[in-house]
Amino acid sequence: MKYVLVIPDGVADEPQDSLGGKTPLQAARKPNMDKVCNMGIIGQADNVPPSLPAGSDVGTMSLFGYDPLQFHTGRAPIEAAAQGIELGPHDWAVRCNLVTVEDGLMKSFTAEQIPSDLGAELLGLMQQEQPADSPWEFIPGVSYRNLLLYRGEAGDGPFDDSTATYPPHDITDKPVAPWLPAGKGGEILQELMKASEAVFAKCDANQNRPHGAPPATNVWLWGQGKAPSLVDFKTRFGLSGAVITAVDLLRGMGRLIGWDVVEVPGATGYLDTDYTAKGQYAIKTLKEKDFVVVHVEATDEASHEGNAAEKVKALEAIDREIVGPVHEYLQSQGDYRILVSPDHPTLIRTKTHSHGYVPFTMCGTGIEADGAVTYDEPTAAKSAISIPGYEVVPLFIR
């Protein structure tokens, strides 16, 4: 049996006036996802418990079959795992975005998709500002997605459960002052964020970006956590696995549960990603692995930009270039199952991640069709299947 999970990140949404009162899933031409639904079952799942932040770290952990209330420690440690960074028992990881703040407003949580080489230069300058014995270590990543590590020793750490930080993508075009880090260690994080303003202002390459792109004004620190301890996926389910993604968060989750991470040329984590290549690499990977996840960030990015048309366009590309070819290949190979599900809703109206149910659909060997025709939120809401997110993959495998 071969298993495939396709994740159109953040695709669940509300009806949009610009789409004639339909959600993006209802408005999009997606014959292949609808075929999965028609051949199998549809349901809805709550991937993000109300007590945890509405983000891909929690949603993905659920979607991979792990209860986040048991295993989640924070977003940044998962991304550290993606880079092969080992965290000691007293270490902490913090997500370090490069952002653009203008007149006190969060104008861009990506610093307009800042290039990775410029991001690495800026973080290198920040590291130079730290004393030789500093416990803080800036780690460059991809574009605006970077990390800050705290290398600790036994004793009282810098953070605890009172530490409150906030993802910058949730405050686009809003004043940043109410969302600065607070609680234990919050003042330290604020000091580092403030110090980055002067450092970034002195970097010529940052101040004179091509095509009039705005400079990164500072780092934004959030998502702190210590190393999680997850049971290996193969130990739990008896299946080897691999994940295809352009996002460190998904890479990290995959590595933490013992999966291979498949790098795809042209996969960007943005709207311009190479959908066709992702589909073809999924087919190639299925020849070696039992369970393959294909994650696409583009639908989530479109929501963060408040762009319904781009969200529909990305969704249609996922359907055409990934779900269609992969399902066709699976049908030609024997026993299989395919599952399509987002990790959480991302609302175009608010440009942010949201709590709430997401629709999922699955079909394949041993799954009896329930009569549903279209894959979308209203259809899923009528289903008799309404479960916690971490139960979806066990249901899929059973």
Encode pLDDT of 296-310 as tens digits: 999 999 999 999 999
231 pLDDT more than 80: yes
Arithmetic mean of pLDDT, 354-375: 97
Check if the beta carbon of residue 352 is closer than 8 Å to that of residue 169.
yes
Q: CB-based burial of residue 389 (10 Å sphere; 0-12 exposed, 13-18 middle, 19+ buried)?
A: buried
Whole-Å CA distances, 382 to 27, 44, 199, 349, 377: 19, 9, 54, 24, 9
Residues 182 and 302 in one domain: no
Domain end: 173, 190, 225, which one? 225
Tokens 């366009």 -> residue? 313
Q: Is the dihedral of CA 163, 123, 192, 175 positive or negative?
A: negative
Q: Take residue 116 and report the two structure tokens written for it.
A: 């990775």
Residues 244 and 257 in one domain: yes
Q: How many domains does the chain have?
A: 2
Whole-Å CA distances, 373 to 31, 38, 77, 368, 398: 10, 5, 40, 14, 23
Torsion of CA 384, 380, 259, 322, to 10 degrees: 140
- At 142 the pLDDT is 85
78 domain residue, yes or no: no
Read off the DSSP letter of residue 390: G
14 domain residue, yes or no: yes
pLDDT band at residue 156, thresholds of 50, 70 and 90? confident
111 domain residue, yes or no: yes
d(CA 25, CA 332): 27
How many helices (H) and strands (E) the chain has is answered by 16, 15
3 DSSP β-pair partners = 291, 337
83 domain residue, yes or no: no
Any idea what the CATH number is for the domain that residue 19 is in? 3.40.720.10
Residues 151 and 169 in one domain: yes
What range defines the domain where residue 110 resides?
Answer: 92-225
248 pLDDT more than 90: no
87 domain residue, yes or no: no
Residues 260 and 304 in one domain: yes
294 pLDDT more than 80: yes
267 domain residue, yes or no: yes
Domain end: 225, 249, 268, which one? 225
The chain-wide mean pLDDT, for the chain, equals 96
Q: Take residue 216 and report the two structure tokens written for it.
A: 């990164």
pLDDT digits (tens, 9 = 90+) for 13-37: 999 999 999 999 999 999 999 999 9
- At 153 the pLDDT is 85
Residues 260 and 218 in one domain: no
d(CA 288, CA 279): 15
Residues 304 and 258 in one domain: yes
81 domain residue, yes or no: no
Domain end: 204, 225, 246, which one? 225
- At 223 the pLDDT is 94
Lowest mean pLDDT of 120-129, 265-274, 287-296, name the range.
Answer: 265-274
CB atoms near residue 307 (< 10 Å): 17
Residues 250 and 380 in one domain: yes
Check if the beta carbon of residue 281 is closer than 8 Å to that of residue 263.
no
339 domain residue, yes or no: yes
| CA-based nearest residue to 119, from 53, 218, 37, 11 | 218
12 pLDDT more than 80: yes
pLDDT digits (tens, 9 = 90+) for 94-108: 999 999 999 999 999
Residues 14 and 110 in one domain: no
